[in-house]
Amino acid sequence: MIYFDNSATTQAAPTVLDTYTKVSQQVWGNPSSLHNFGESAYQLLEQSRQQIADLLNVKAREIFFTSGGTEGDNWVLKGTAMEKRTFGKHLITTAVEHPAIHNSMEQLKELGFDVTYLPVDQEGRISIDDLKAAIRPDTILVSVMAVNNEIGTIQPLQAVADVLKDYPKIHFHIDAVQGIGKGIQKLIMNDRVDFVTFSGHKFHATRGVGFIYARTGRKLAPLMAGGGQENNWRSGTENLPAIAGMAKALRLLLTDEDQKVARERAVKQRIYDHIKDFAKVDIFSRPTDGFAPHILCFTINGVRGETIVHAFEDQGIYISTTSACSSKKHMASSTLMAMHTPEAVATSAVRISLDENNTLAEADEFNQIFDKLYQRFSKINADA
């Protein structure tokens, strides 16, 4: 099996699973309990928080645990809206965000908030001039993803940060779910960002756990009311085994990060160089610094994306149709549609997404199978 669908989810690392199991079996007290068993759980919880904070060069009190990226995005957007609604009801995001952002914004519109969706260019990237023009006196939030989950575009995060330095009251949020461990941590954790969303299962932790970074001094209204965990910001008994495992996964991810990114980029380049000259192939992810090293989105024009996915699956190679969240709904890529790509092309889009364990040998095998499938699809289209 060759697994090229790491943007959908990664395989939990064996040592992460080992940590998860040991904590489940040995430290299963509630961190909120007063007895020694609860205190042991609390200490492990705080050790995990400190480890994550140290890896990101932030304060431990700025890390808040969640159930994953979707909750984190919902919390920052809706928590900002609730916290700052007396100061304004205008929010800004991009036209190519993950559904966790887009659909949250649409819900806020139904509650009377005004949302501006910034358009993107032919590489899926926003214009800083458009951002400047969109800001209003009642703007309370700007939310921009670090890396597009469908085609891998890296947004101009530092340029956004530079603009927002002149607007200190506006919350600046980055969805970094696809960006962590991809060599752009300085862009993500820039000197102006207020909130950042992370999801554990995107970097070899287990599912159902994540965290947000929240800059000291910024406030969010809680979405989860209850026992007052996470400093009264996010109630609910913490998922300690998953949190401890996630802290280990993040440490492993960021160890030798440059070498891992280089391996991913080399695999992407090998595939890109092979498929780029085929007549019916369009590629939307460039092998340049403006794109993440691990995502390659392409089409075989005239063949639907799900057909391509299943054809590769039959050969033991697992890829996806752009976003995993929309793949079973047979939806065209929302990013490509926002880039004004013809719908017939957008419905053909598929995504390869790599991690540090993928190899050049796997890329070569993919290329060989690609040749066979391309010939098959060409013959079918010619006979149709």
Q: Which of 1, 9, 2, 15 is CA-nearest to residue 245?
A: 15
Q: Which of 241, 205, 147 is CA-nearest to residue 9?
A: 205
Tell me how far apart the alpha carbons of residues 249 and 52 are, in angstroms, rounded to a whole number.
10
Pairing of strands 2-3, 317-318: parallel
User: Of 17, 325, 345, 369, which residue is the catalytic one?
Assistant: 325
The one-character DSSP state at 60 is G
User: For the chain, how many residues are written?
Assistant: 384
Q: What token pair was written down for 358? A: 């993928």
Q: Which amino acid is at 338?
A: A
Q: Which of 248, 262, 293, 264 is CA-nearest to residue 358?
A: 264
Q: Can you tell me whether residue 350 is helix, strand or coil?
A: strand
- Map tokens 């995005």 to a residue: 73
Crossing angle of the two packed helices 14-26 and 240-254, in degrees rounded to 10: 150
Active-site residue 297, yes or no? no
Write the CB contacts of 378 (distance below 8 Å, at least 6 apart in sequence). Answer: 280
Q: What are the Cα distances from residue 301, in Å, to 151, 153, 283, 346, 357?
A: 17, 21, 11, 9, 30
Q: Which of 57, 84, 12 is CA-nearest to residue 196?
A: 57
Q: Which residues are catalytic?
A: 325
